[in-house]
């Protein structure tokens, strides 16, 4: 079943759109690009350290317009990265002290719970997949399964196509659905993603 078959909505022009995915897939980078392009604001901070986003963040009343003429009053939600396990020692590898690492691990665990709880508040979701990583993991399937169980329309964005190891074709094969290859960092493919969001209304 193609991705756009999920994009079926009432005539409402106000939509709450969540950006979800596993840790460091580029969710906040994408959310920031959307926020800057349509509201002149960023929604969160990014970092090479895992779980930089540990709280739900929202930009309300974003005047989202596509080049083809679609217009949406968008509530944009950036969610913490979802992970199956969190080891405080991973943060120590990034230079944090043991105490800082333990605290960050606690916050990250709470963030995962909040991200899953946020699924109940969304009208649609962009699932961001790092196309430079192997997509064979339970995290992506858990996210997609939870969204589909709630009948939440989904757009799968195969992110980081600017990296040499990126393989968006493999992402498409694994998920057996239409995907949109993008680089949230460089903007490659972003207009196609915007048009897909525009079809939500």
57 beta partners: 78
pLDDT recorded at residue 2: 45
CA distances from residue 179 to 1, 44, 100, 128 in whole angstroms, order as listed: 11, 25, 38, 10
Average pLDDT over residues 22-30: 91
Residue 43: in which H helix or E strand, if any?
Answer: none
Average pLDDT over residues 41-47: 82
- Rounded distance between C-alpha atoms, residue 182 and residue 125, angstroms: 16
What is the CB-side half-sphere exposure of residue 49 using CA atoms within 13 A?
18
Residue 109: in which H helix or E strand, if any?
Answer: helix 98-118
Average pLDDT over residues 155-163: 96
Please tell me the CATH superfamily of domain 3-81+110-198, with its number: P-loop containing nucleotide triphosphate hydrolases (3.40.50.300)
- The structure tokens listed for 92 are 């120590």
Is residue 147 pLDDT above 70, yes or no? yes
pTM, two decimals, is 0.82
């Amino acid at each position: 079943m193609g991705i756009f078959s999920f994009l079926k909505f009432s005539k409402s022009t106000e939509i709450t759109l969540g950006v979800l995915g596993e840790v460091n897939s580029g969710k906040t980078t994408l959310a920031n690009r959307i926020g800057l392009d349509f509201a002149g604001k960023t929604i969160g901070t990014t970092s090479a350290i895992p779980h930089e986003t540990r709280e739900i963040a929202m930009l309300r009343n974003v005047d989202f317009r596509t080049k083809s003429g679609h217009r949406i009053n968008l509530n944009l939600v950036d969610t913490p990265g979802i992970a199956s396990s969190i080891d405080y020692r991973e943060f120590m590898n990034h230079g944090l002290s043991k105490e800082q690492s333990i605290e960050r691990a606690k916050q990250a665990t709470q963030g995962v719970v909040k991200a899953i709880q946020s699924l109940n508040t969304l009208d649609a979701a962009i699932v961001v997949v790092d196309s430079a990583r192997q997509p064979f993991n339970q995290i992506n399937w858990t996210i997609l399964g939870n969204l589909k169980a709630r009948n939440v329309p989904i757009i799968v964005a195969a992110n980081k196509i600017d990296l040499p190891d990126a393989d968006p074709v493999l992402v498409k094969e694994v998920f057996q659905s239409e995907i949109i290859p993008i680089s949230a960092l460089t903007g490659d493919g972003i207009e196609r993603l915007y048009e897909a969001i525009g079809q939500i209304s």
